[in-house]
Amino acid sequence: MSLVLPPDFGATPKRTLVLPEDMTKLLVQVCCAPCCGAVLECFKHHQLEPTLFFYNPNIHPRAEYEKRRDELIELAQLLGFAYVIPEYETKGWFAAVKGLEHEPERGKRCTVCFTERLTATALYAKEHGFSHFTTTLATSRWKNKQQVDAAGMAAQEATGVTYWSEDWRKSGLVTRRYQLVKEFNFYNQLYCGCVYSKESANHIKHVQLPSAEELSQSAQAFAQGQRNKEQRQISAALADCHC
């Protein structure tokens, strides 16, 4: 085990957490350690003992899947959370997103991807006596919470298990998330997970920015501003967990 508990672990900024009234047993769909560090710390503080469900057939290639899975397992063991790792079976996921390969992130492919993962989570919850399920999918600033919630509600309707739509970004959890990513020194993911998001990340990486010499005198000031902006966006995309 290489993960070490940061000295300030436990200092969650989310001191108030209103639980669903009738919640007896919680299943949490987790996509990776960076996305769930601050949420798990919050659970610890509020003495919740959910089971973590690492169901992510969207992640490719297998080596990337295993890296994220193994880090999640390590974190769950370090923090003492129960976890479930379903079989890595990708055919169903590819069939579900067929025809949506060229959709942008936050587009229709992501809606299908979220719905597929959260429906599988809700089905597992139903079969194993969980009253509620939630997800860490919307903790990242790359994700659209409304889109994730809509998928959660669709999974609830399909299975009858209640989706807990807590906002895991509020009350300082975004800042805390990035602090913990650094303190734990989590693996730095460069793309969301699927092969299509990897291709767009590679495209960003290889964008050729214009050199100063290529810029005409009159356009220099404007272009330099644009160049800096693009450079910042690319740096942010590459430095941040993109899950």
**Contact status: 69 vs ligand SF4 (CB under 6 A):** no
Q: By CB under 6 A, is residue 194 in contact with ligand SF4?
A: yes
Query: What distances in angstroms separate CA 151 from CA 19, 34, 120, 134, 141, one per listed residue?
Result: 21, 21, 11, 11, 17
Q: Does 58 bind ligand SF4 (CB under 6 A)?
A: yes
Residue 242 makes contact with ligand SF4 by CB under 6 A = no
Number of Cβ atoms within 10 Å of the Cβ of 211: 8
Q: How many residues bind ligand SF4 (CB under 6 A)?
A: 10
Among 3, 79, 90, 105, binds ligand SF4 (CB under 6 A): 105
Is there binding between residue 12 and ligand SF4 (CB under 6 A)? no
User: Rule CB under 6 A: is residue 192 a binding residue for ligand SF4?
Assistant: yes
29 sits near ligand SF4 (criterion: CB under 6 A) = no
Q: From edge to edge, which strands make up the β-sheet containing 26-29?
A: 82-84, 51-53, 26-29, 132-135, 162-163
The answer to whether 154 touches 119, Cβ cutoff 8 Å, is: yes
Told to check if 64 binds ligand SF4 by CB under 6 A, we report no
Return d(Cα 135, Cα 156) in angstroms, integer.
Answer: 13
130 CB-near residues (< 8 Å, 6+ apart): 25, 26, 27, 51, 124, 161
34 lines the binding site for ligand SF4 (CB under 6 A): no
Report the distance separating Cα 215 and Cα 219, nearest Å.
6
Asked if residue 113 binds ligand SF4 (CB under 6 A), the reply is yes
The two tokens of residue 24 are 């007896």
Nearer to ligand SF4 (CB atom), residue 14 or residue 109: 109
Of the residues 109, 132, 169, 177, which one makes contact with ligand SF4 according to CB under 6 A = 109
- Between 133 and 196, name the residue whose CB sits nearer to ligand SF4: 196
Amino acid in the structure at residue 91: K
Q: Does 65 bind ligand SF4 (CB under 6 A)?
A: no
- Positions touching ligand SF4 (CB under 6 A) are 58, 105, 109-110, 113, 192-194, 196-197
